[in-house]
């Protein structure tokens, strides 16, 4: 796929099923993530891969969090099964004089986007999700995040179940001005 086509045609998909990327394809996706712009080369991120049994573990974690928050436990329990694979991207900011935390979190965000694009380029699709679970202290603790770390995204990946490609070209006039 041509690079510009990838940038212009990329779209998300919420209806995903097997097959999911694995082996060399998955490694390529992770490598694309690790090429995210990174001020100071701090590597302020890490990836938690969730598939197979991991999805059931994540489901249990979401259910516990929903229960504690008096939310919809069954809905929370089902969420991880919306794709055969979830890549949790964790921002892990490092103390630094010149690189503020926001830049390090942005770098982790770039990582999510790069991995979604790498999946798309290989014929898969995905969707970047957060929602309350991304910010829930119970979820963060059970997934092993340290106090200073943040979940910037649950990147759901798999094969698209939707044949119609959404067309969402925005007019640049609305968003671009000239100085
Ligand atoms: C930080 C972030 C968090 C998001 N969280 C959610 C989410 O929890 N649920 C959801 O349906 N879409 C979420 N989205 C939006 C989707 O990833 C996607 O961009 C949106 O559905 C538009 O589709 P498109 O990427 O094809 O334009 C989020 C996007 C970003 C950047």
The 10s digit of each residue's pLDDT in 45-59 is 999 999 999 999 999
Residue scoring higher pLDDT (165 or 16) = 16
Q: Ligand 1 mean position to 39 CA, how many Å?
A: 25
How is residue 44 written in tokens? 């302020």
Give the pLDDT band (50/70/90) at residue 169: confident
Q: Ligand 1 mean position to 134 CA, how many Å?
A: 13
pLDDT of residue 166: 75
| pLDDT tens string 63-101 | 999 999 999 999 999 999 999 999 999 999 999 999 999
Would you say residue 35 has pLDDT above 80? yes
The domain segmentation of the chain, as residue ranges, is 21-161
Q: Ligand 1 mean position to 69 CA, how many Å?
A: 23
Q: Average pLDDT, stretch 25-31?
A: 98
Fold entry, domain 21-161: NADH Oxidase (3.40.109)
The count of other CB atoms within 10 Å of the CB of residue 155 is 25
pLDDT of residue 144: 98
Q: Ligand 1 mean position to 176 CA, how many Å?
A: 22
C-alpha separations of 26 from 82, 100, 119, 157, 162 in Å? 18, 31, 8, 10, 22
Which atom of ligand 1 lies closest to the CA of 14? 11
Q: Average pLDDT, stretch 99-106?
A: 98
pLDDT of residue 165: 78
Average confidence score pLDDT of the chain: 96
Q: Ligand 1 mean position to 127 CA, how many Å?
A: 6
Would you say residue 157 has pLDDT above 80? yes
Which atom of ligand 1 lies closest to the CA of 152? 1
pLDDT of residue 73: 98
Query: Which of 115, 128, 136 should be mutated for ligand 1, with most atoms under 8 A from CB?
Result: 128
Euclidean distance between CA atoms 20 and 38, whole angstroms: 28
Say whether 71 sits in a helix, a strand or coil.
Answer: coil
pTM over 0.85: yes
Ligand 1 neighbours by CB, cut-off 6 Å: 11-12, 127-131, 153, 168
């Amino acid at each position: 796929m041509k690079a510009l086509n990838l940038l212009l045609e990329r779209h998300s998909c919420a209806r995903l099923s097997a097959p999911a990327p694995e082996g060399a394809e998955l490694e390529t996706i992770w490598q694309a993530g690790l090429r995210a712009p990174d001020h100071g080369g701090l590597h302020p991120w890490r990836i938690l891969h969730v598939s197979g049994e991991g999805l059931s573990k994540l489901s249990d974690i979401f259910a516990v969090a929903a229960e504690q928050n008096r939310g919809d436990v069954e809905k929370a329990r089902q969420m991880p099964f919306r794709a055969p694979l979830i890549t949790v991207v964790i921002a892990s900011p490092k103390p630094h004089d010149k690189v503020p935390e926001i830049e390090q979190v942005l770098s982790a965000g770039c990582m999510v986007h790069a991995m979604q694009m790498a999946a798309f380029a290989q014929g898969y699709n995905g969707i970047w999700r957060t929602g309350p679970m991304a910010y829930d202290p119970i979820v963060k603790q059970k997934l092993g995040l340290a106090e200073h770390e943040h979940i910037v995204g649950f990147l759901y990946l798999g094969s698209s179940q939707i044949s119609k490609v959404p067309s969402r070209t925005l007019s640049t006039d609305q968003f671009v001005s000239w100085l």
